[in-house]
Amino acid sequence: MHQRQKMRDAVVALLTGKTKAWDRVFPSRQVPWRAMELPGIAIYTFEESEESRKRKVTLAVLLVASLTERVDAELDDLALEVETVLASDLSLAGTALGSRYTGMAMEITEDQGVPIGAIRLNYEAWYLAVPDATSRSVG
């Protein structure tokens, strides 16, 4: 299993049952939100770089809530819960050398015809590259 997958799975385990999303926490960017009770959380990675065999991956924690007049407050409450849990375990259950919150983006969108509000919390996490992976040539 790739280290990125281990990190995503670890974040799911860390958050499950500890936020208002309860067990609606998924290690995927593709979640059929309309079929689910909201709020929900999706965990995915979307960018990675390497320097001296140490990799830095950007981990997204997408928080989704029903679009109501309280959507901003509901998303902020959920974000505070997530930030508190992840700040208490910077190693992401031992899958990372360390992690840190780097920012957020909020949007209103539609998912399969259902209007939703979403916040994407961005985290950087570091891990060691696979031994000799950088020295292999592709040919």
Whether 134 has a pLDDT exceeding 60, the answer reads no
* Residue ranges of E strands in the chain: 25-26, 40-51, 54-66, 98-111, 114-128
Global pTM reads: 0.88
Spatial CA neighbour of 102 closest among 118, 87, 117: 87
Whether the bond between 39 and the residue before it is cis, its omega within 30 degrees of 0, is yes
What homologous superfamily is domain 3-128 in, according to CATH?
A: Phage minor tail protein U (3.30.70.1700)
Q: pLDDT tens across 66-118, in order? A: 988 999 999 999 999 999 999 999 999 999 999 999 999 998 887 677 788 99
